[in-house]
Structure 1
Amino acid sequence: MKLITTLIAALPLALGATALQAQTVTLKVSHYLGSNHNFHSKVLEPWCAELDKDSGGKLKCQIYPALQLGGTVAQLPDQVKNGVADIAWVSPSFSTGRFPRSEALELPFTMPRSSLGGSLAMWDYTQKYAMDDFKDFKVLSIWSGSSVVISTASKPVIVPEDLKGLKLRSPSRYPSMFLQALGGVPVNMPPAQITEGISKGIIDGAMAPWEVLPAVKVDEVTKYHIEGPAKQPGFTQTPFALLMNKKKYDSLSPELKAVLDKRSGMPLLERTAKVWDDGNEAARKAMLAHGNKVLVIKEADYKAMQKTAASVEADWIKQANAKGLDGAKLAAEAHAIGNKYLNK
């Protein structure tokens, strides 16, 4: 009887230990760049370490860089939705038409130049106007890749007319439309191919954020880097998001949800934006140290570029209206919210 009593008394403890073990969750986190990229080493890894620590080891990550789970960049949202990955770094820019409200964030001269300003504006806009784009996901963060810089090999761009006929690498659809409106020729290619493309004369330069340039050695094949005036919206920006599978999030215990929520949202946005802005500043300094020239478009020429590129926004408004959205309102709100964070 003593033995039976002892076993019965120990049973809840054993069941409790088993339950605790069962609560340990490992999240599959996917992204499309290498493990040497700042996002991997300075955002995802420390973020995952904090989840592990805050949860007492019950919430862990397994990071899969460089599309190790298969598929393409455009397929990352589906990988999250279908549970191939629990979490993924995606961009609405790379999945044309899938996130229609978020496309307003890509329109020319809409968002602040810095990643922090752009990220705060994108988060604000998304919470108010674009959450329906992400109804299939748990949104962990939204942030900005910061404004593109126009880098050229031999021809400086000082006035809008200088862009005519220039073949520039474009990161996505709306930068391409911006360049076309100004008479340039967009060429889509991944960052890793930019340097070879310039050195072989396939392209004359590239549109990319500062932090990308030294990472792929664009500084070695370009001489000029062109920005707009300070405290004005950037040429174009790329919105990014960290999305989570809804069922996976819902399956977490309240305690693990609280850990994830605490480290996501605004804290994750601020961490990511700082990494991007620090990378941009370091890259800008590296370009100058290399002997490259940074040119700033004069105010009058900047306004002329805005006027010419206005056709891109007008076309988007028509497309948004055709989808049942109020394109004019969304574009106006994107501008208003972007202006709100210009000094960040």
Structure 2
Amino acid sequence: MKTLKIRGQVLAALALLTTQSAMAQEVTFKIAHFLPGVAATQKAVLQPWCDEMGQLSNGRIKCQFYPSMQLGGTPAQLADQVKNGVADIVWTAPGYSAGRFPRTEALELPGVLPLGGLSGGRAAWEFYGQHLQTEYKDYKVLAMHGDGGMNIHTAKKPLNSAADFKGIKLRSPNRTIARSLTALGATPVAMPPAQVTEAIAKGVVDGASAVWEVLLPTKLDEVTKYHFETPAERPVMGATILVVLMNKQKYESLPADLKAIVDKTSGLPLVERYGKVWDEAAVAARNKVKAAGHVVTVVSGSNYDAILKQLEVVEKEWLADAKSKNIDGEALLAAAREAARKQSR
């Protein structure tokens, strides 16, 4: 009996030490993305998010950032980098990996998401929870948000209507927007944000589809003069969906209390951080280019309607692709529009 009592005491002590060790565990998340460190995604969203997790964990959660693809590879490879453990967390656009996340593209189609980072982000997160979890089963998804809506920035030629797109070369961020530009008569050129400014300066492209948020950190405002955007009360002409993905094994390896902190601060709270910052960045960029004498054109009602009409072919192409992959595209698109409608009230 005495031996059993001692053995029980030893086991209890070991259990206590194991618990204390888990409670004392510290972790440093390697976070990678494709924009410079001064961009809003790191400076105004991910860094404050990391700071909050650090405070809630009494300093046990830390972050090390690798902006501008410092871990190597291309933006299209970020999804694989986090899946394979090269990074613990990445911020990327699923659309950079063309065709890999086909259900997500429903949110990027013309006339679906509402204008704005906050409303678009909330719609995207609701849609993810209802329809996209299987598509991201290999990841721990910490956030999904919209980019605020497709804007076009050009160096020499102002855009006012669908006809103005004919014959120009424009950078496209994803397959859906590339199809939209083609439907409007432009030539889409795929390239990551870091290469766009130089490409415009050298005349490789005439402009770019890019959101207001990336304009200043990439210095796109220094090589463009004309800016074309969606009216505030209408759905966007196109979008790029962005995600914060975490390595699933890294998340599962965390002690329970650190998992709880990650869960508490991510999801909708992180989506809303992005949305608010994106909307603020859009105002700042718009004001800066206007003060510099640039021309900002909000496409007028009749021109907007004509553009959306011309872009109906993009939706048809996506539905055909979805059908070929045994995806119920009609149902997904209806659900995406309903999620967006709720945020447009």
TM-score scaled by structure 1? Answer: 0.90
- Output the amino acid matched with 2:161: V
Structure 1: gaps of 5 or more residues: 1-7
Match of 1:27, SS state, is strand
Structure 1: distance between partners of 2:67 and 2:205? 28
Residues 150-189 of structure 1: pairs in structure 2 closer than 5 A:
150-189=152-191
Alignment-derived partner of residue 302 in structure 1: 304
1:77, 1:88 within 8 Å by CA — same for their partners in 2?
Answer: yes
Deviation at 1:211, TM superposition (A): 2.1
Output the CA distance in 2 between the equivalents of 1:64 and 1:285: 30
Contact (CA 8 Å) 2:35, 2:194: kept in 1 or not?
A: no
Which residue pairs with 1:277 in the alignment?
279
Structure 2 residue runs of 5 or longer lacking an equivalent are 1-9
- Using the TM superposition, name which of 288-297 and 146-155 deviates more: 146-155
Give the match's secondary structure for 1:244.
strand
Change (3 A) 1:71 1:153: closer
Shift of 1:326: 0.3
**Shift of the alpha carbon at 1:192?**
3.2
- Aligned equivalent of 2:96: 94
Q: Equivalent residues in 2 for 1:1-344 (5 A)? A: 15=17, 19=21, 23-342=25-344
Which amino acid is the alignment partner of residue 127 of structure 1?
Answer: G
Match of 1:3 in 2: none
Task: Return the alpha-carbon distance in structure 2 between the equivalents of residues 320 and 147 of structure 1.
Answer: 23
Task: Work out the CA distance in 2 between the residues paired with 1:267 and 1:140.
Answer: 10
User: Residue 198 and residue 13 in structure 1: after superposition, are their counterparts in 2 closer, same or farther (change >3 A)?
Assistant: closer
* 2: CA distance, partners of 1:215 / 1:37: 5
Cα RMSD (Å) of the superposition?
2.1
Classify 1:31/1:284 alpha carbon distance in 2 versus 1 (closer, same or farther; 3 Å). Answer: same
1:4 is aligned to none
- Asked if the contact 1:32–1:73 (Cα under 8 Å) also holds between the matched residues in 2, the reply is yes
Q: How far did 1:170 drift? A: 1.5
Residues 203-260 of structure 1 show CA distances to partners (whole Å, capped at 9, x for unaligned) of 2222111122233333333332112222111121111111112222222222111111
Q: Distance in 2 between matches of 1:60 and 1:295?
A: 43
1:342 corresponds to which letter in structure 2? S
What is the letter of the counterpart of residue 278 of structure 1? Answer: E
Distance 1:66 1:198 in 2: 19
Superposition deviation, residue 33 in structure 1 = 2.0
2: CA distance, partners of 1:67 / 1:197: 19
AA in 2 matched with 1:198: I
In 1, are the aligned partners of 2:96 and 2:173 still within 8 Å (CA)?
no
1:16 to partner: Cα distance: 6.7
Letter in 1 for 2:314: V
Deviation sequence 1:157-192 (CA, Å, 0-9, x none): 222111111211212211111010011111223333
Amino acid at match of 1:103: E
Letter in 1 for 2:339: I
Match of 1:98, SS? coil
How far apart, CA to CA, are the structure 2 residues paired with 1:201 and 1:84?
35
Secondary structure of the 1:211 match is: helix
Identity rate of aligned residues, in percent? 47
Structure-1 separation of matches of 2:81 and 2:303 = 43
Q: Distance in 2 between matches of 1:15 and 1:229?
A: 60
C-alpha deviation, 1:323, in angstroms: 0.8
| CA positional deviation for 1:104 | 0.8
Letter paired with 2:160: I
Q: Is the 8 A contact 1:47 1:263 kept in 2?
A: yes
Q: Which residue identity does 2:321 align to in structure 1?
A: Q
Judge conservation of contact 1:313–1:331 (CA < 8 Å) in 2.
no
Task: Write the distance in 1 (CA, Å) between the matches of 2:272 and 2:28.
Answer: 24
Instruction: Describe the shift of the 1:24–1:84 C-alpha distance in structure 2 as closer, same or farther (beyond 3 A).
Output: same
**Which amino acid in structure 2 is aligned with residue 154 of structure 1?**
K
Return the alpha-carbon distance in structure 2 between the equivalents of residues 331 and 230 of structure 1: 22
Deviations 1:61-119 (A, max 9, x none): 22222223233222222222222222111221111222121111111121112011110
Q: Secondary structure at the match of 1:61?
A: strand
Deviates more, 1:24-33 or 1:287-296: 24-33
Tell me whether 327-336 or 22-31 shows the greater mean CA deviation: 22-31
Looking at structure 1, the residues matched to 111 and 16 of structure 2 have their Cα atoms a distance apart, in angstroms, of 61
Partners of 2:183 and 2:317 in 1: CA distance: 11
